[in-house]
Amino acid sequence: MNDWPRRIAIVGVGLLGASVAKSVRATIKDLHVTGVVRDPGKRESLLLNHVIDSGTDSIETASRDADVVVVATPVNHIADFSLRASAASPADCLITDVGSTKQGIVDAVAKDHDAIQKFVAAHPIAGSEKTGADYACADLFRGKMTVLTPHPQTSVEQLKRAERFWQLTGSRTVTMTPAEHDDHLAAVSHVPHLASSAVANLVAADSANLVGSGWLDITRVAAGDPGMWLAICQENRQAIRRQLAQLAGSIDDLQQMLKDSDDVGLLRWLQQAKSIRDQAR
Amino acid sequence: MNDWPRRIAIVGVGLLGASVAKSVRATIKDLHVTGVVRDPGKRESLLLNHVIDSGTDSIETASRDADVVVVATPVNHIADFSLRASAASPADCLITDVGSTKQGIVDAVAKDHDAIQKFVAAHPIAGSEKTGADYACADLFRGKMTVLTPHPQTSVEQLKRAERFWQLTGSRTVTMTPAEHDDHLAAVSHVPHLASSAVANLVAADSANLVGSGWLDITRVAAGDPGMWLAICQENRQAIRRQLAQLAGSIDDLQQMLKDSDDVGLLRWLQQAKSIRDQAR
């Protein structure tokens, strides 16, 4: 199985797409990577830096002889680009993605019977507030978790291929339903991101020099690309609203404990948060 | 002025107290540091590691010939310990602290006319979720801001001494009223900390392995000492409740924008947060 894949296509060569290329290339000798990149200058630079071996602006051209197509664009384009890759690619092609929301994408691709045979949705839980291929690296996924969210029609064989592919990047894989994924991600990523932005918005712009390392940690992700996060909010609106309601409830509880001078309750609440944080990693 | 201070006393030699000792010692030759430490074993270890030159469990003994007394205990003990240090120390002694709340401490010390002549409240905005002298370092305050919150009765001379002392640690100084400080800190530190804990509490303990670097950043401070944060909440209850109400309002706005699919508003809100974060440091 060391001869698979030979040719991969990356649609959208940003931080994640370029890191997939670099990490798989580190494992598979003679891998050919085609990048689908709209901007000719960017395409040229990716070729010069050996991130990709060939470049095109056509998804169809890139998919024609690909063993694997990785769609690494903003979430609002993933389903459409996956359908186009499916129509153009060989029958045994694996199509996968990196989107941080899954239900909408899987539902949209599943409307095409052929496409859902090829497509196994994936979300590598790795990244950075940085964007762009310049920050890509071969070990971005190392030791991280990639969540696979197969459709009921996905074959066991195709799921196994998706697991193998994502393990080639250095990540571990776990499988859950798209809905389970979206609820979990709303709780661990999307709503935390919104909370980070809300914390940043508490500060007047002119006192941003009077902040400590805690504030800088909490608000780091708020420097992320607003357009990308808007797209995530659009894609995962329902789960985000449910988790935001949880967060609002938690803040109400806090206000009540502060009002009542309920020190026992407040201490327990702080201890619970510490205990959860201490268990991570 | 390079011969001042010769002798300093640190009441409570944890992360901040030990870092004050180390940073001032790096600048002042032949500095004598006395540590007020209750636990004899800890005292012994601080002596062996040359963090302190002498140790005692008595604030009065340590203050008797001190040029500067730094009270670096949890906030709920600072006023009481500062009053005791004032009663025992020479007339020209500077008493200062590191507490992250100021109004309650300054008001309590100001009840003693002699003590408020000596005491200049300070808050070095530096720290870590780590606690204890083992993590102390001479450059913890380097380039950071120390907020001084003098009382109306503080003399210009004593304020200048406090500025000089805190600049010896490597920090810059800024002056504001205790109330301004507490409102600002509620916005940039206390409520962000509570938001960080609330974000941690969104996650079931058994899925804490399925989190990304963003979650780890946002929740880093939630691993801090719950007892210390309870004390901060008690000391700065009113300002924290005001800023928590702001945060709750921001989350309400978010919910409304998500419900209404108000993408323009949501994008503007995310962009504002990014712009504030990008201006910090």
Do both A162 and A209 map to the same domain? no
Q: Is residue A1 part of a domain?
A: no
Do both B24 and B160 map to the same domain? yes
> Residue A229 has what pLDDT?
93
| N- to C-terminal Cα separation, chain A | 31
Taking only Cα atoms into account, the Rg of chain A, rounded to an integer number of angstroms, comes to 21
For the four alpha carbons of B99, B104, B108 and B111, in that order, the dihedral sign comes to: positive
CB contact under 8 Å between A209 and B278, yes or no, is: no
Do both A194 and A121 map to the same domain? no
| Contact partners, residue A260, CB within 8 Å, separation at least 6 | none
Do both B50 and B165 map to the same domain? yes
Q: Which residues of B touch A256 (CB under 8 A)?
A: none
> Residue A11 has what pLDDT?
98
Q: What angle do CA A172, A7, A116 make, to 5 degrees?
A: 65
Average pLDDT over residues A152-163: 96
CB contact under 8 Å between B201 and A276, yes or no, is: yes
Res. A129: pLDDT tops 80: no
Domain count along chain B: 2
ipTM of the complex: 0.75
Q: Is residue B2 part of a domain?
A: no
What number of helices (H) and strands (E) belong to chain B?
13, 9
CB contact under 8 Å between A198 and B227, yes or no, is: no
Range of the domain at B195: 181-279
Residue A135 DSSP symbol? G
Q: How far apart are CA B251 and CA A267, in angstroms?
A: 24
CATH number of B270's domain:
1.10.3660.10
Percent of chain B with pLDDT over 90: 87
Average pLDDT over residues A199-226: 87
> Residue A1 has what pLDDT?
53
The helix or strand, by DSSP H or E, that contains position A95, with its residue range, turns out to be strand A94-97
Res. A128: pLDDT tops 90: no
> Residue A280 has what pLDDT?
85
Mean pLDDT value across chain A: 94
Q: How far apart are CA A90 and CA A50, in angstroms?
A: 25
The pair of structure tokens assigned to B102 is 């100021």
> Residue B129 has what pLDDT?
64
Q: Which of B142, B159, B176 is the last residue of a domain?
A: B176
Q: Which tens digit of pLDDT belongs to each residue from A95-122?
A: 999 998 999 999 999 999 999 999 999 9
> Residue B281 has what pLDDT?
64
Determine how β-strand A145-148 pairs with β-strand A94-97.
Answer: unpaired
> Residue B205 has what pLDDT?
67
The pair of structure tokens assigned to A131 is 């964007």
How far is the alpha carbon of A119 from chain B, nearest alpha carbon, in Å? 23
Q: How far apart are CA A148 and CA A177, in angstroms?
A: 8
> Residue A210 has what pLDDT?
80
Do both A164 and A189 map to the same domain? no
- Helices A263-279, B191-200: inter-axial angle, 10-degree rounding: 60
Percent of chain A with pLDDT over 70: 96
Average pLDDT over residues A156-168: 97
Q: How far apart are CA A54 and CA A47, in angstroms?
A: 7
Q: Which tens digit of pLDDT belongs to each residue from A29-87?
A: 899 999 999 999 999 999 999 999 999 999 999 999 999 999 999 999 999 999 999 99
CA atoms within 13 A on the CB side of A277: 28
Under-70 pLDDT residues of chain B? 1-2, 127-129, 205-206, 208-209, 281
CB contact under 8 Å between B196 and A240, yes or no, is: no
The answer to whether B152 and B179 have CB atoms below 8 angstroms apart is: no
Do both A217 and A152 map to the same domain? no
Do both B159 and B188 map to the same domain? no
Q: How far apart are CA B74 and CA A59, in angstroms?
A: 61
> Residue A178 has what pLDDT?
95
Q: Which residues of A touch B219 (CB under 8 A)?
A: 192, 273, 276-277, 280
The answer to whether A137 and A25 have CB atoms below 8 angstroms apart is: no
Taking only Cα atoms into account, the Rg of chain B, rounded to an integer number of angstroms, comes to 21
Q: Which of B227, B244, B263 sits opposite A254 (nearest CB)?
A: B244
The pair of structure tokens assigned to B59 is 């604030």
Do both B112 and B232 map to the same domain? no
Q: Which of A111, A142, A176 is the last residue of a domain?
A: A176
Do both B156 and B190 map to the same domain? no
Q: Which residues of B touch A217 (CB under 8 A)?
A: 217-218, 220-221
Going by C-alpha positions, the residue among A69, A147, A146 that lies closest to residue A109 is A69
How far is the alpha carbon of A275 from chain B, nearest alpha carbon, in Å? 7
CB contact under 8 Å between B245 and A267, yes or no, is: no
Q: Which of A176, A209, A240 is the last residue of a domain?
A: A176
Q: How far apart are CA A276 and CA B208, in angstroms?
A: 7
CB contact under 8 Å between B248 and A248, yes or no, is: yes
Exposed, middle or buried, A17 (CB in 10 Å: 0-12/13-18/19+)? buried
> Residue B212 has what pLDDT?
85
Question: What DSSP line would sit under A104-132, residue for residue?
Answer: HHHHHHHTSHHHHHHEE-EEE----S--S
> Residue B200 has what pLDDT?
95
- Helices B191-200, A191-200: inter-axial angle, 10-degree rounding: 180
Exposed, middle or buried, B28 (CB in 10 Å: 0-12/13-18/19+)? middle
Q: How far apart are CA A219 and CA A132, in angstroms?
A: 20
Do both B158 and B28 map to the same domain? yes
Do both A167 and A187 map to the same domain? no
Biggest CA-to-CA distance, chain A: 67
What number of helices (H) and strands (E) belong to chain A?
13, 9
